[in-house]
Amino acid sequence: MPLQLAFLCISYLHFPTGRLWFYLFIVA
């Protein structure tokens, strides 16, 4: 899904640590 990709990109740009990415992945 493009939305998930967008969120992933935003999360990565926001926090490259990966914490936000993991959280978004769980939520998505």
- For 1-28, the DSSP string reads -HHHHHHHHHHHHH-TTSHHHHHHHHH-
pLDDT in tens, 12-25: 776 656 677 777 77
Q: What is the pLDDT of residue 6?
A: 82
Q: What is the pLDDT of residue 28?
A: 65
Spatial CA neighbour of 26 closest among 4, 3, 2, 1: 4
Distance CA 1, CA 15 (A): 21
**With 80 as the cut, is the pLDDT of residue 3 above it?**
yes
Residue 28 tokens read as 């998505």
Q: What is the pLDDT of residue 25?
A: 75
Spell out the long-range contacts of 1-6 with Cβ–Cβ below 8 A and sequence spacing 24 or more. 1/28, 3/28, 4/28
Of 10 and 20, more confident? 10
**With 80 as the cut, is the pLDDT of residue 2 above it?**
yes
